[in-house]
Amino acid sequence: MRRLLTTTATILTVVAGLAVTSSTGPASAAEGDEGPVRVAITGLSPIAPGPNSTIIVTGNLSNTGFDDLDLVSVRLSLSSAPLPDRRSIRQAVEGSEDLTDYALYATETLVSKRLRAGGTERFEVRAKAADLLLPEPGVYALSVEAVGTGPAGYTTLGTAHTTLPWLPDQTSPVRLTWLWPFATWPGQTANGVFLGDLLPRELDSGGRLSNILDAAASASDLVTWVVDPQLLQATSDLEEGYLVEEDGQVRPGTQQGAARRWREEFQAATAEAERTRGRAPRPAPSLWDLPYADIDADAVERAKLDGDVIRAVTSAPAVTRENLGRPAEGTFYWAPGGRVSQGTLDVLASSGVQAVILRDNALPPLPAVDYTPSGYADLDTRFGTVRALLVDSSLLDALTMPQGNRSEIIALRQRVLSELAFVSLEGGKETRHLVAAAGSTRWDPDPLMLRVLLTSLRAAPWTRLIPVGEVLSLPPAPLSRVTTDYDSKSRARELEEAYMARVKQAQEDLSSIRSVVVNPIGISEPISAALLRTVSSAWRTRPRAGEELLDTVQRTIDARMTQLYIVPRDNVTFSGDRGSVPVTVANEFDSSVIVGVTLVGTPSARLTADQLDQVEIEPGRRASLEVPVRIIGSEPLRVSIQLVDERGRAFGEPTVLVLQTTAYSRAALWVVVGAAIILALLVIFDIVRRARGRGRPPREATPAEPSAT
């Protein structure tokens, strides 16, 4: 059955080939066609062929079928005209469409007389540029076809696709700014404990950050370094010895040496070299900050925590200088997802960022243009204009292509070179500035790809790598752009609303600590920095890790708040309706506190209490206070005793006790006694009156008086 299917496919291929002009030969199979041979291009030179160049393509042929193949050869195929647009470049490299339309039979080269099933052979095919008869400068589709004889006869066995930039004449090179981010997932608690050993592994030899640094150090003048100060700070902490928490267990870390080597290499690579043997020193690379912990500014601004955005931006330079020994040139905001809301942009502008890094589709030209414009624009905010660095979408797509082997790296390289060649031809003599960058500040490129691409970009005459400062110094772009809406899809990518509500509550709790502690810096700064780490854009892709970090920070805050408390006591009974409630306040902070005390009854109308304000308690001491009160009513009264700051805001949880007075009981007793006495007196009086009435003689009758006549 398998042989029958293979034979049928071969017949269809041959029939299709007969429908093409004789110059095309057997039809090539675009990527996705099931051929028995996998063709992998592992080399293509020169980078920039000229009229006298010999184009050399090398690679591998692998027989993935079940049958041996005879007289296996390779040959080149080309498109007869330059590709019409940048979209076609992607299609040509990916092989989603076969854009070659004539075979170069003169290039056919025998690779193997018999390619065994499962076998692999190297190939090399050459072609003189003059023999290609390329009609005009441009980017051409190029394919390597494997042909040979199998069970179904002579046919095309497999095809690999790529592109060939052809710019024999001088063009105005594209100025390319390539931004290289250095950032990590900032899982470090307020106590300095690292949640897992991800960062130490990234810094160690062969780790993600180690690979990026090695490549950047070899071309420090070609790329722009954008570093998260939190990474430098965490690396310094690792050097001094550190703890790692995993699965609820805390253990000592063991990668101090790797952290020290990475920091020293980073410091050496970003420092200006000394003058040697009379030569000018190598200039230091262009180094820029991210806001501390690469925060998700849109989520933070939406939670109405603008102060955290400003603090992350303004604190970044000092952290970099402290941990690197040199300042950065300024601070960029790298928008996660490539877009930023207007409200966030206003906050960023107020904090002093030099630029925001967006994707070019966030600010499309208006009206649309039929060429690639320079990748920068100026955005209006309430605090002036902010320059936007617009990452080219096609270059971004190219840099995210697979990089698992040399064949994929060559495909990526040709895609990038072709994209830039196409742009250089679009504008004629006009200088174009493009920005290239990864899709995330925590990118994970293959180190071989970085070296190959850097070498190629340096050699390509149609491209010139420049530092970002040149783009920032350009006058406003003449092209008008329109800001696309920061829509619901963009908001859905932010840190979740419920998560940010927890962060906001933690900020309020920390503010309470600051409000009562006389010198809170030593207490609040580590927690404040950890809270900034909880709002890192890194947690967009690892939300559980963000939740874990926030849990640890909240526990630290809760533990701190319990260091200032009211010592519980028994219920209090007064002999009258007035008295003083004894309150003992304990301060276990390492700093003095200033606190007040309020009492509230339930119901509140039954208690009148003075408020104690501005009571200072020294560190490690207890203060015994008395709060004057007046109780109304004889029933027991539930009273809440609350610590408050200087503004009257509650601190911590209240302590509850019951107040009771005996004054109303005694008053009632006296009333009863008085009533009894009065009643007794009345009874005695009545008895005496009656007794007197019984002892008096009866009254005699008197004669009538004569009437007057």
Tokens of 295: 């925060």
Give ∠ CA 327-220-407 in degrees, rounded to 5.
Answer: 140
Q: In what order do the strands lie in the sheet with 572-574?
A: 572-574, 650-661, 637-644, 593-602, 612-617
Other CB atoms within 10 Å distance of the CB of residue 367? 8
Between CA 590 and CA 564 the distance in angstroms is 11
Number of alpha carbons in the 13 Å side-chain half-sphere of residue 1: 0
| Amino acid at position 165, single letter | P
Between CA 465 and CA 223 the distance in angstroms is 7
Between CA 392 and CA 395 the distance in angstroms is 5
Between CA 37 and CA 35 the distance in angstroms is 6
pLDDT of residue 662: 79
Topology adopted by domain 564-663: Immunoglobulin-like (2.60.40)
Closest CA to 433 of 393, 398, 478, 463: 463
Between CA 598 and CA 610 the distance in angstroms is 7
What DSSP letter does each residue of 408-465 carry, written as one string?
HHHHHHHHHHHHHHHHHHHTTTS--EEEEE-SSTT----HHHHHHHHHHHHH-TTEEE
Closest CA to 229 of 342, 382, 332, 305: 332
pLDDT of residue 4: 38
Q: At what angle do helices 521-534 and 497-516 cross, to 10 degrees?
A: 170
pLDDT of residue 692: 67
pTM for the predicted model, two decimal places: 0.85
Cis? peptide before 367, omega within 30° of 0? yes
Other CB atoms within 10 Å distance of the CB of residue 698? 5
Walk along the chain (709 residues) in steps of 10 and give the mean pLDDT of each run: 38 32 34 74 96 96 95 96 96 89 94 96 96 94 95 92 93 94 97 95 96 90 94 95 91 94 94 56 84 98 96 97 94 96 97 97 92 95 96 97 96 98 83 94 96 95 95 92 90 96 96 95 95 98 97 97 93 88 95 95 91 93 94 90 93 92 55 60 70 60 46
Between CA 506 and CA 167 the distance in angstroms is 59
| Amino acid at position 295, single letter | I
Other CB atoms within 10 Å distance of the CB of residue 289? 27
Look up residue 353 and give its DSSP letter.
-
Between CA 539 and CA 324 the distance in angstroms is 26
Residue 179: alpha-carbon gap to chain centroid: 16
| Cβ–Cβ under 8 Å, residues 661 and 675 | no
- Phi and psi based region of residue 428 (left: phi greater than 0; alpha: psi -120 to 50; beta: remaining): left
Between CA 352 and CA 571 the distance in angstroms is 57
Provide the β-strand partners of residue 176: 434, 465
Q: In this structure, what are the phi and psi dihedrals at residue 659, rounded to the nearest 5 degrees?
A: -100, 145
Helices (H), 256-327: 256-270, 297-302, 306-324
**Three-class secondary structure of residue 130 per DSSP:** helix
Between CA 451 and CA 191 the distance in angstroms is 39
Between CA 330 and CA 317 the distance in angstroms is 7
Between CA 372 and CA 378 the distance in angstroms is 17
2-166: CATH architecture: Sandwich (2.60)
Between CA 556 and CA 413 the distance in angstroms is 49
174-271+283-477: CATH architecture: Alpha-Beta Barrel (3.20)
Cis? peptide before 603, omega within 30° of 0? yes
Between CA 607 and CA 637 the distance in angstroms is 8
Closest CA to 568 of 583, 580, 589: 583
- CB burial of residue 337 (10 Å; 0-12, 13-18, 19+): buried
Tokens 């698992």 — which residue? 404
Sign of dihedral through CA atoms 190, 192, 193, 194? positive
Between CA 662 and CA 577 the distance in angstroms is 8
